[in-house]
Structure 1
Amino acid sequence: MEGRNLITIEDPRSPIAEAYRTLRTNIQFSSFDKKIQSIVVTSSGPGEGKSTTSANLAIVMAQSGSKTILIDCDQRKSTVHKTFGLSNEIGISDLLVGKVDFKDAVQDSKVENLDILTAGTRPPNPSELLSSKKMKEFIDELREEYEYIIIDSPPIIAVTDAQLIASFTDGALLVISSGEVERAAAIKAKELLDKVNAKIIGIVLNKLEVSEKGYYGYYYQYYYGKDGDRKKGKNKSGEVAI
């Protein structure tokens, strides 16, 4: 395992790893009316940390004992295979076009309870493939085997892929990079999700530099629930988490 950006494995006691665990808890407790199993993670633009968030969220879900699968649906800029040090020779695209079966495409992440489905061969028509009936049916089939299905999708303003996937998943997480994204872009991203009636289960404010109890310089995440309230807490060490 390459371990790039996997702070929940590299430094599980860090404030950032604790923030991911708090994010996990917030998601689990947001499932009142309907259980949230499939979650698409997107951002307004590139470089905001949506792939890092997807990977670490999948890890903490698995670490809690929930069987989890992380799917790389960013066909234009796939990174999940690099993050986990896996092959990208075959993946979700090859499965959807019928070249391989699921058992041949899925890979072991080396994290207990976590499986990985990489992007695979880059198709000429990513949007059409990801919005196909077969994709929807595949996600429904995964519900029988996995408690959580985390989907890393492309930035929502750049291409329509995230919108299409969000239209048939249980919830969407929007990752916003603090101090880097214009307010208009963040609002536009939310509007695009609203247009497909996606259930926005939260907004992750990433790369937020704070100064509190000597932890200045760390990057934290804050989670905004659908009511707009910021969820924030402290762990046993007094470190600030979400």
Structure 2
Amino acid sequence: MTINKNLHSIVADEYDTIRENIEFASFENNYRSIMITSPTYGEGKSITTANLAISLAQNSKKVLIIDANIRNPSIHQIFKIKNTIGLTNVLIGQKALEETLNQTEFGRIGVVTSGPIPNNSEKLFRSVLLEQLLDKAKELYDYVLIDVPPVLEENDSKIMASLCDGVILVVRNGKTEDALALEAKKSLVMVHANLLGVILNGKRTNPILRKLKI
């Protein structure tokens, strides 16, 4: 998984287009917390989250990434930071959000890693502490991007979707079956998620994503 740092690459241009769509939607509707998910594993949602955060940060926005994929986290690997304390510590009341913030090499991007794996993540995600964390994060950052498990794999994603201002669904060209994409969308609609759009990932060999419809 590679973060895109080339400001003039085709990939950067693609993310800039997506960023502009998100910022426009946010201006009109104040969308600040955005969950990013996929139908199944291997769609590229985590690297999409990271690259989208970079595009926002390069446009002078403060961005917090929260890794809520607590059974299979990867954000800490992408940004090469430790995952000793994180989201789960906040959700059990052990740490405050500020105590779990990690600074990245990109000055405007902070990361809250997943933290230790709990016995019952669904119970944690139904905690009032999660809502308080998201509210606090929006006080500190312009945008909060939440990387969650695939929506067809874990109930955690459905719970989180109902708490976020918007949801982006990532699908991979040549991998995601149409039936799974439709099932994922249906699952999000059932929990009254605000689906902002779909990113088609891997359309060509170079661009990581191709389009976002909002």
Per the alignment, residue 221 of structure 1 pairs with 209
Aligned equivalents of 2:212 and 2:141: distance in 1? 26
Q: After superposition, what is the alpha-carbon deviation per residue over 1:197-221, rounded to whole angstroms, capped at 9, x for unaligned? A: 1111110000002xxxxxxx42342
1:182 to 172, 177, 180: 177
Per the alignment, residue 198 of structure 1 pairs with 193
Aligned equivalents of 2:206 and 2:146: distance in 1? 27
Q: Within 5 Å, which residues of 2 pair with 1:111-190?
A: 111-190=106-185
Q: After superposition, what is the alpha-carbon deviation per residue over 1:96-123, rounded to whole angstroms, capped at 9, x for unaligned? A: 1122222221110121111110001111
Aligned equivalents of 1:32 and 1:78: distance in 2? 31
SS of equivalent to 1:164: helix
Q: After superposition, what is the alpha-carbon deviation per residue over 1:72-119, rounded to whole angstroms, capped at 9, x for unaligned? A: 000110001111110100001011112222222111012111111000
- Cα offset, 1:156, TM superposition: 0.4
8 Å Cα contact 1:105/1:117 also seen in 2 = yes
Which stretch of the first structure deviates more once superposed, 80-89 or 28-37? 28-37
Aligned equivalents of 1:190 and 1:138: distance in 2? 26
8 Å Cα contact 1:63/1:112 also seen in 2 = no
**Greater helix content:** 2
| Counterpart residue identity of residue 86, structure 1 | I
Aligned equivalents of 1:156 and 1:30: distance in 2? 23
- Cα offset, 1:131, TM superposition: 2.7
| Counterpart residue identity of residue 101, structure 1 | A
Gaps of 5+ in 1: 210-216, 227-242
Q: Within 5 Å, which residues of 2 pair with 1:1-242?
A: 4-7=1-4, 9=5, 11-31=6-26, 33-209=28-204, 217-226=205-214
| Counterpart residue identity of residue 179, structure 1 | G
Aligned equivalents of 1:79 and 1:126: distance in 2? 17
Aligned equivalents of 1:120 and 1:39: distance in 2? 20
Gaps of 5+ in 2: none
**Ranges of 4+ aligned residues in structure 1 off by more than 6 Å:** none
Aligned equivalents of 1:170 and 1:36: distance in 2? 5
8 Å Cα contact 2:45/2:147 also seen in 1 = yes
Aligned equivalents of 2:89 and 2:189: distance in 1? 30
CA, structure 1 residues 157+174, in 2 after alignment: closer, same or farther (shift >3 Å)? Answer: same
| Aligned residue pair count | 214
Percent of matched pairs sharing the same residue: 33
Aligned equivalents of 2:53 and 2:207: distance in 1? 19
Normalised TM-score (structure 2): 0.96
| Counterpart residue identity of residue 222, structure 1 | R
SS of equivalent to 1:208: coil
Q: After superposition, what is the alpha-carbon deviation per residue over 1:143-170, rounded to whole angstroms, capped at 9, x for unaligned? A: 1111100000000001111111010110
Aligned equivalents of 1:123 and 1:21: distance in 2? 36
8 Å Cα contact 2:14/2:207 also seen in 1 = no
- Cα offset, 1:31, TM superposition: 3.0
